[in-house]
Amino acid sequence: MIWLNSFAALILLAATGYLFWRRIRPLLDSMLSAERERRTDSPGARMRGVVVFVLGQKRLLRWPFSGVAHLLIFWGFVILNLEILQAGLEALVPPLNLEEQYWWGPIAFVQDLLAAAVLAGLVLAALNRYVLRPRRFLGSHQRDATVILLLIALVILTQLGIYGTQIAAGADHVVNMRPVSDAVSALFRGVHGESIWAWHELFLWAHLLLIAGFLVYLARSKHLHILTALPNVYFRSLEPAGRHLPMLDIEAADHFGISKVDQLSWKQELDLATCTECGRCQVHCPAFNTGKPLSPKLFITDLRDGWYARARSEEAPRSFWATGDPPGQAPTDGSLLDWSVLEETLWACTTCGACVEQCPVLIEHVPAIVQMRRSLVLEESRVPKEAQRALESLEQRGNPYQMAQSSRMRWAEGLDVPLIADRPDAEYLYWVGCATAFDEANWAAARATVAILKEAGVSFAVLGQEEVCNGDPARRLGNEYLFQTQAQEVVGRLAARGVRKIIASCPHCFNTFAREYPDLGGNYEVLHHTQLLSQLLDQGLIHLTREIADGRLTYHDPCYLGRWNGEYDAPRRLLQAIPGVELLEMHRSRGEAMCCGAGGGRIFMEETTGSRINRVRVQQAQETGAAQAAVSCPFCATMFTEGISSQELGGQFGSADIAVLVAEAMGLDYLPQQSIVGSPEAPPPP
């Protein structure tokens, strides 16, 4: 009879392994045949990430309630793997009983306490999911989560039953080593003789069957992340966050971007398998929060449905955002566009990076979205009409604002701005950028920056008419060919002028020069204007001595300066150095700041669904009680100006670039003597 149990345990082990392998193999085969991507450099840094994000649960603990629940369940299961191994060994080799070994006592004690911790974590998780019901769970697979929670609970309860019945049967060696099981044993004190061991066997085999079922179920559950989270974090991108897009080899590529399953890289497929559906990305997404057809979570799960359907030749679940008839059988060619992911989903993204910043398992949503845009633009010429006009203008006129190149320097009239053609030995090139040069609302920021640089004695010059768009809008909108064409032209012009250091007022230009141009041979020392001004302040080269009109300020973090490049402090140091300033932080600030809505080329497109992102952000700024919002990005400035005007907040609330506030605190005269605002050549509003 004893060896019959061993035989049954072997059969269960073999069956579990076979079924798990059968269910997981299609996904592994797909990853092995997917597009190559090198992710094996710097193993030390990669392991540190595993310690911080997987073992330390760093991002999960940003939300203490659910974070603590997950921490208890995670670490409980890590340690309880020993108990699972113990139960399996004792079933395979019945004479074996580790509880009889004196050295096993401390391990048994920890196992028991962690079993209680897991149950506590499950209670918190159930309370969060079924009672509190946060919005981030919208669209998640509720039934799947329920099954997993029940399976985990039953695994733990049967474990306690195994040792509780042993204690009730008089197995003294486990008493005081398993305090929780000892408490459970009270339920079986009245059971005697063979009956108690029958209960013990029942709990043991129920425990093993539940573990086997859990493993087999896992292969087709969102909880596959239990197995994939560690490798997904290990193989994360170690590039600076702003360098998040792969450079496409236009000449050698046999396809542009992603439109089919077989165009996903193995790391992107691993991302899909790792999504926990926790929804942290979703509740931080400006598009989702303003009623747009985009949830980063559902974008990933919809892609996953398409991948699963292709890999397993199955029908995928219906997309959360789909309308009309369900998509039905997956396309035989593995198409993702228009089946798993809708076109309007892709164009709703502002590429702000909030989803990437919040994901606890480090999924890379934005690169996948932009790569799918590439396919739309370069392979199918499907571009929103407003974005298409901007791209055509960029290609024909060198800027996306449909403005003549001859008007690029109008912002500088009467200011005597040095040109690099006249000052080739200038230390810095001040890159003005299209949004500043052609949008009159931003001219004051550029003029203030120039006035400050002159006052501080900084050696600088501008390109003037030689400056053209560096291609950032084209890249975010998916026209990689146009981006590379523009970038190569700019790299050539900067090389001809010997440029090595760049000051950029636009975080988008800053990111493009600092993070993306090196792939095309453009290597520069790049500073955002707030970074340079902060350095000048620290060096005592500028002095802020005057109070501004109303010092109650709040600061809006630009996505491409803050989240993508980690600069949060320099702008704040400048503001706090202005006499009389009271800096009032928004609820969503720094790494959790909400996008203004202009990124990802959205500044050139209309918002026709839901609320306008910029107006929601202006409301958040006004709720701080500040008199005005300080900005440090021309896109943000444009969006704040529109948000304030459209909501008729003039006189109650305003906005200004940090350079303007610094210039005022320095007492500098940077405005033209005769106003040039309101020219008939002004660009059309975004």
Report pLDDT digits (tens) over 406-459: 999 999 998 999 999 999 999 999 999 999 999 999 999 999 999 999 999 999
Quick one: 22 and 165 in the same domain? yes
Quick one: 525 and 628 in the same domain? yes
Whether residue 345 has pLDDT greater than 70: yes
Number of domains in the chain: 3
CATH code of the domain in which 274 resides = 1.10.1060
Q: Is residue 242 part of a domain?
A: no
Quick one: 378 and 391 in the same domain? no
Pick from 625, 628, 617: which is nearest to 660 by CA?
Answer: 628
pLDDT: which is higher, 33 or 190:
33
Residue 219 CA, chain-centre distance (Å), reads 25
φ, ψ dihedrals at 583, nearest 5° = -90, 120
Distances, alpha carbon 631 to alpha carbons 39, 370, 440, 506, 571, in Å: 36, 26, 16, 11, 9
Q: Is residue 394 part of a domain?
A: yes
Quick one: 217 and 274 in the same domain? no
Using the 3D structure, point to which of 337, 358, 382 is the last residue of a domain.
382
* 382 CB neighbour count, 10 Å cutoff: 16
Range of the domain at 77: 2-234
Quick one: 374 and 418 in the same domain? no
Q: Is residue 161 part of a domain?
A: yes
pLDDT on residue 139: 79
User: What burial class does residue 173 get, using C-beta atoms within 10 Å of its C-beta: 0-12 exposed, 13-18 middle, 19+ buried?
Assistant: middle
pLDDT on residue 222: 83
Q: Is residue 682 part of a domain?
A: no
Quick one: 213 and 279 in the same domain? no
Q: Is residue 679 part of a domain?
A: no
Quick one: 20 and 78 in the same domain? yes
Using the 3D structure, point to which of 333, 362, 382 is the last residue of a domain.
382
Which tens digits make up the pLDDT trace of 80-118?
Answer: 777 777 777 777 776 666 666 666 778 888 888 888 888
Quick one: 497 and 362 in the same domain? no
Q: Is residue 396 part of a domain?
A: yes
Quick one: 32 and 51 in the same domain? yes
> Among all chains, which residue has been given the structure tokens 């700019």?
490
pLDDT on residue 676: 37
pTM of the model: 0.89
pLDDT: which is higher, 101 or 310:
310
* 292 CB neighbour count, 10 Å cutoff: 25
Whether residue 328 has pLDDT greater than 70: no
Whether residue 673 has pLDDT greater than 60: no
Whether residue 30 has pLDDT greater than 50: yes
Q: Is residue 50 part of a domain?
A: yes
Quick one: 132 and 22 in the same domain? yes
Using the 3D structure, point to which of 364, 382, 400 is the last residue of a domain.
382
Beta bridge partners, 461, equal 429
pLDDT range class, residue 3, cuts 50, 70, 90: low
Quick one: 430 and 308 in the same domain? no
Quick one: 268 and 289 in the same domain? yes
State the Cα–Cα distance between residues 645 and 642, nearest whole angstrom. Answer: 5
Q: Is residue 678 part of a domain?
A: no
